[in-house]
Amino acid sequence: MMPESASETMLKDIIQGPSEVEWRYEMRRECQEILPNLLLGPFQASKSLETLTSNRISHIVCIRDVKEAFSVRPRFPERFKYLVLDVEDNEEQNLIRLFPDAKQFIDTAISSGGRVLVHCNGGISLSPAFVVIRQTSVSRRKRDDEDDSDDLRCKGPDTIR
């Protein structure tokens, strides 16, 4: 068997994650720091005061299906700042309309030194979508700020800005 090349190792790290990060199935019930000061997790993580304080959470984005409002709700409103977004967890839901408020809440919290947990019920659909949309927006803005030449920008009809 031939040793892995550097590019194969890099590709493996991209697909499977770095080898020093050991993900276990049980971690699906925990919150994970996805980006500095931005954590993602299921509702179960948001119910544990110990989890929230040990992760130094200051702000929580609670994304819930309207039908789950009775159970998926802020548990510690006196301890943390919450943004609650009521949605319908289906393919027809327009999440884009909710994104500006979520992004502003997250960005304000992080810029003031806070740490944000973004969660939905299972932590596998709605909350990851918001984290990805927020990071895409931040990356695009950073890229736009670095690119001060209008000649280099794509102006095609498929460009989303």
Residue among 126, 117, 124 at smallest CA distance from 75: 117
120 tagged catalytic:
yes
Of the residues 31, 62, 120, 154, which is catalytic? 120
**Do 64 and 120 contact (CB within 8 A), yes or no?**
yes
Dist. CA 107–CA 49, nearest whole Å: 23
Distances, alpha carbon 97 to alpha carbons 75, 120, 123, in Å: 26, 17, 20
State the catalytic residues.
120
